[in-house]
Each structure stands twice: as C-alpha cells, then as structure tokens.
Amino acid sequence: MSIVTQNFSRNKYFNWAVKNLFSSWVNTIMTIIAVIFVYEIGSFFLNWSIFSADFKTNFEGEIITDRTLCSKNIVPGEYGACWAIIYARWDQFMYGLYPVEETWRVNLTYALLPFAIIGILFDKLPFRKLFIYFTFIFPFIAYFLLYGGPGLSTVGTNKWGGLLVTLFLGVTGIGLAFPLSILLALGRRSKMPIIKSLCVVFIEFIRGVPLITLLFTANVMLPLFLPDGVNPDNLLRALVAVTLFQSAYMAEAIRGGLQAIPKGHIEAAEALGLTYWQTTRKIILPQALKIAIPPIVNTCIGLFKDTSLVLIIGLFDLLGIGRAALADMTWTKLYYEVYVFISLVFFIFCFGMSRYSLYLEKKLKTDNS
C-alpha cells in the first residue's frame, strides 16, 4: 500500500481517495458499492426528471394540456416525468386561487420581501438603516398589497394559497414568534414568581401539545366560543396557532443560550451599575442569541415545514394546492411530479435558512464558545 501511495504522491486527490476510500478491502468494497448505488439512483433520477421528461410539450411536439397527452401515458414505460402539470398550475402553486388579474400584487410582495429581510440578515450592508426602516413598514405594505385597501380591491384570504400561504405562515410566524420567544425565555428565568410561572405554564402547555391539535383548536373550537357572525379569518387563526407554537419552541432554544452565559458576566454588569434591561440588551442577549443560533434555525426550519399541516384544516398551502391539482381529473395520478416539485421548493427555502445559519455562526465565532 505504501509503495502505491508514494508513486502517486504528486496527486493529492488520489492520495486523499486512497486514504479515505480505499484504505482497506472492506472500505474498497463499500466505496464501489456506494459509487454504483449513487450512479444508479442519480442516473435514474436525472433521466426521469430531465432527459426523458416532458416539459411543455410531449415527444410529438404537442403542447400538453392534460395527462393523457403526457409522453409517458402515450408510450408507457418509455418516458419520464410530465412536468406540464407544474406549468399548467404554476399560478396556483405560487398564488393559490388569487384572482389572475391581481397576481401582480403578490409578485410585488415577493419582490419586496428580500429587501425587507436583508437588513436584519446582514450587518455590513450599505444603507442598512434604511433597510431596517423598510423591514418595519413592510408588514403594512404587504398587508395592503395582499389583502387590499384604499385603491386596491379586497382579496379574501380564502383565495390565498400555494407558496403565498406557506411563506405567509412561515415568515410571519417566525417574525412574530421571535420577539415573543425572547420575552418568554427571559420571563422563564425571571425572579418574579407570577411572570415566571405564567411563562413556564405557557411554554410547557404549548410544547406538550402537537401542532395539529393547536391548529384544530384554533380552527374549530374558537368560532364555537365566539358570538355568531364573528368569524376570525381562517388563515389568521392558523397564524395564531403557528406563532404560539413557534414562540414556545424558540423560547426554549433561547433559554438554552441564556443559561450558557457565565454568571460572572451578569455580576460584572451589575457591578458597573447597569440596569436589568441594559444588562439584558447589551450583554446577555447578544451572547445568548449567538449561542442559540443553531437551535433557533432548527426550529425555524421545522416550523416552515410544519406549515404544510394547515392542509388538514382546509387551507391550500403549497402541499394542499398540489393535492388539489392531483384531484383534478385533467392531471390526476401525476403524484411524483407534484411531490418532487413541492419537495424542491421546500428544500430551497430550508437549505437557504440552514446555509445562512452556518454563515452567521462563522461570522460570530469567538474563542470562548
């Protein structure tokens, strides 16, 4: 073995491969099996999803308007995915049943969203202050654009759907839950007994109940207790449940960060004469939140995916609208296409969040942690 290594020492990739992949006969066999496996799966998937797939037209060049025109349904066994369902239903995947002539409002909101969050994500941004101001007024702009108001026709939330609902629940849920969870985490560590017990009860209760139960409670029980005619919006009810759920989980993540801070820091701050809020804002939270980044992002990713549970209360989120597409006789049984597409969309967002958290961890890394 050592002779082989020496002969090819010029090539560091080869060395790496020999050391890591072919160091013993067991590893060699494992490597070969893994390569074959990856190749088989990968080539099958690429072939299915791209090379022998239909996009807008089938193999005869016809535009696909229903499932019977998919190549794979004309010549069984020969062709792969039929992505025409995604083309045909693109608007529904993006906006739900939002009126077609008003979808520019959703597009504008989508386009403004990055500007609203970029300010909080990156601190070395030029004109960051302006971006932060925009972050605070964005919810009002988004509400006006999406729901309507003076000059814009009202589009009820029962018309919202697809990515719009998923993003709305995810972004708003996380955005509202974040401040709430900081308060809960601080409250849970407070020395004031009433505040402390309220926070403990809230967190433990919400964490002890599955999100589905909360959604059902919000959706089904709430209207029964309210007077007739008072029907809080369906989407709003789901949002409340999602926010409460997320804040309880995030509070525990932040509490973990709070507990990791040495007591000396707090005592030092007190010795300097800082008040509780000054200590918290300037010394405790910056450190605690840094430590808590991985678990916070973890709960955010979890929540983003959990939003698909709203389909059981009849909201058309991305998954719900996909299932509705499958229920249309025009497209029925194109399960793989729809589910692969939905997974891809979820993956893009969740992977983005996870990369951002890695970036943040690296940037904030100091030696004491």
Partner 1 sequence: MTKIKSLFISLVLTLGVSTAIAGSHGSTLDLVKERGKLMCGSNTGLAGFGAPNDAGVWEGIDVDVCRAVAAAVLGDASKVEYVPTTSKVRFTVLQSGEIDMLSRNTTWTLSRDVDLGLEFVGVNYYDGQGFMVNKSLGVSSAMDLDGASVCIQVGTTTEMNLADFFKANGMSYESVPVETNSEADAAYLAGRCDIYTTDASGLYASRAGYPDPSAHVVLPEIISKEPLGPAVRHGDSEWADIVRWSLNAMIIGEELGINSGNVEEMKGSKNPEVLRLLGVDAGYGAMLGLSDDWAANILTQVGNYSESFEKHIGPNTPINIQRGLNALYKDGGILYAPPFR
- The residue among 7, 75, 90, 83 whose CA lies nearest residue 50 is 83
Q: Are 305 and 321 in contact (CB under 8 A)?
A: no
Nearer to partner 1, 215 or 360 (CB): 215
Binding of partner 1 by 234 (CB under 8 A): yes
Q: How far is CA 265 from CA 259, 273, 287, 288, in A?
A: 12, 13, 10, 12
Check the CA dihedral 136-219-170-208 and report its sign.
positive
**DSSP letter, residue 179:** H
Nearer to partner 1, 98 or 202 (CB): 98
Nearer to partner 1, 136 or 336 (CB): 336
- The residue among 142, 208, 172, 107 whose CA lies nearest residue 310 is 172
Binding of partner 1 by 217 (CB under 8 A): no
Q: Tokens representing 320?
A: 């719900």
Q: How many residues of this chain interact with partner 1, rule: CB under 8 A? A: 40
Q: Are 118 and 131 in contact (CB under 8 A)?
A: yes
What type of residue is 315? L
Residues between 5 and 34 that touch partner 1 (CB under 8 A): none
Nearer to partner 1, 225 or 277 (CB): 225
The least CB distance from residue 340 to partner 1, in Å, is 15
Q: Is 17 exposed, middle or buried (0-12, 13-18, 19+ CB in 10 A)?
A: middle
Nearer to partner 1, 158 or 298 (CB): 158
Q: What would the x/- binding string for partner 1 be over residues 138 to 177, using CB under 8 A? A: ------------------x-x-------------------
Residues between 240 and 299 that touch partner 1 (CB under 8 A): none
Neighbours of 13 (CB within 10 A): 8
Q: What would the x/- binding string for partner 1 be over residues 44 to 73, using CB under 8 A? A: -----------------------xx----x
Residues between 305 and 364 that touch partner 1 (CB under 8 A): 311-316, 320, 323-330, 332-333, 335
User: Given the rule CB under 8 A, which residues bind partner 1?
Assistant: 67-68, 73, 76, 88-89, 91-92, 97, 100, 156, 158, 216, 219-221, 223-224, 228-229, 231, 234, 311-316, 320, 323-330, 332-333, 335
